[in-house]
Amino acid sequence: MEHWDVVVVGGGPAGAACAAAARQADPGARVLVLDRRLPRVPQPCALVVFGITGDLARKKLLPAVYDLANRGLLPT
């Protein structure tokens, strides 16, 4: 049986940041990242929209983004 000092479940942006922080805190730490998605492909972790605010964003943009996500058309 192998010994790990830190095990991170999920290799997305938050998991990768946790693993990196663990190694930075203790460079000798044995860190394992478990992720079910193979191969690992970089994924966006934020949606930034310039020039749209208030009612337009709330009534038009956000419902459209949620609809795309619900239909599986955005990267996960």
Contact 5, 30 (CB under 8 A): yes
Higher-pLDDT residue of 40 and 70 is 70
> Alpha-carbon Rg of the chain, whole angstroms?
18
Computed over every residue of the chain, the mean pLDDT equals: 82
pLDDT in tens, 3-62: 999 999 988 888 888 999 999 999 999 999 998 876 666 666 666 667 777 787 778 888
Give the pLDDT confidence score for residue 47 in this predicted structure: 64
This prediction's pTM: 0.51
| Alpha carbons 24 and 27: distance in angstroms, whole number | 6
Residues 6+ apart with CB under 8 A from 58: none
Domain boundaries, the chain: 1-43, 46-76
Taking CA atoms, 16 is separated from 4, 13, 32, 33, 37, in Å, by: 16, 5, 10, 8, 13
